[in-house]
Amino acid sequence: MSFDLNSLLRPHIAKLQPYTSARDEYTGKDGVFLDANENPFGSITAQDFNRYPDPYQSDLKEEIAKIKHVRPTQIFLGNGSDEAIDLLFRAFCNPGKDNVILLPPTYGMYEVSAGINDVEIRKVALTDDFQLQPEKILAAADEHSKILFICSPNNPSANKAKREDILFLLKNFKGLVVVDEAYIDFSDEPSFTTELVNYPNLLVMQTFSKAWGLASLRLGMAFSSEEIIQILNRIKPPYNISGLTQETVLAAIQNKEKVDQMIKEILAERDFLQKEMVKLPFVQKIHPSHANFLLVKIPKANQVYDDLIAEKVIVRNRAKVLLCEDCLRITVGTRAENEALLSALRKVCESPLSTDHSRQHPNKQVEI
Ligand SMILES: Cc1ncc(COP(=O)(O)O)c(C=O)c1O
Residue 179 Cβ < 6 Å to ligand 1: no
First to last CA, the chain: 38
Partners of 204 in beta bridges? 179, 223
Backbone angles phi, psi at 192, to 5 degrees: -75, 0
Residue 107 Cβ < 6 Å to ligand 1: yes
Distance CA 151, CA 148 (A): 10
Residue 314 Cβ < 6 Å to ligand 1: no
Residue 215 Cβ < 6 Å to ligand 1: yes
SS (H, E, C) 17-73: CCCCCHHHHCCCCCCCCCCCCCCCCCCCCCCCCCCCCCCCCHHHHHHHHHHHCCCHH
CA of residue 159 to ligand 1 center, whole Å: 15
pLDDT of residue 355: 43
Strand order in the sheet with 176-180: 75-78, 220-223, 202-207, 176-180, 145-151, 99-102, 120-123
Q: What is the pTM of this model?
A: 0.95
Instruction: With beta carbons less than 8 A apart as the criterion, state whether 77 and 219 touch.
Output: yes
Helices 81-92 and 109-116 meet at what angle, rounded to 10? 40
| Atom 13 of ligand 1: nearest residue by CA position | 182
Digit-coded pLDDT (tens) for 203-250 = 999 999 999 999 999 999 999 999 999 999 999 999 999 999 999 999
Collect the ranges in the chain with pLDDT lower than 70.
1, 352-368
Distance CA 8, CA 88 (A): 11
CA of residue 31 to ligand 1 center, whole Å: 40
CA of residue 292 to ligand 1 center, whole Å: 12
Distance CA 151, CA 159 (A): 10
Digit-coded pLDDT (tens) for 23-80 = 888 888 899 999 999 999 999 999 999 999 999 999 999 999 999 999 999 999 999 9
Which amino acid, one-letter code, is at 193? Answer: T
pLDDT of residue 1: 62
Which of 143, 89, 79 shows the shortest CA–CA distance to 116?
89
pLDDT of residue 365: 58
Distance CA 286, CA 329 (A): 10
pLDDT of residue 25: 84
CA of residue 82 to ligand 1 center, whole Å: 7
For the four alpha carbons of 190, 193, 196 and 197, in that order, the dihedral sign comes to: negative
| Atom 7 of ligand 1: nearest residue by CA position | 81
Instruction: With beta carbons less than 8 A apart as the criterion, state whether 292 and 211 touch.
Output: yes
Residue 352 DSSP class: T
What DSSP string describes 114-181? HHHTT-EEEE----TTS---HHHHHHH--TTEEEEEEESSPTTT-PPPPHHHHHHHHHH-SSEEEEE-
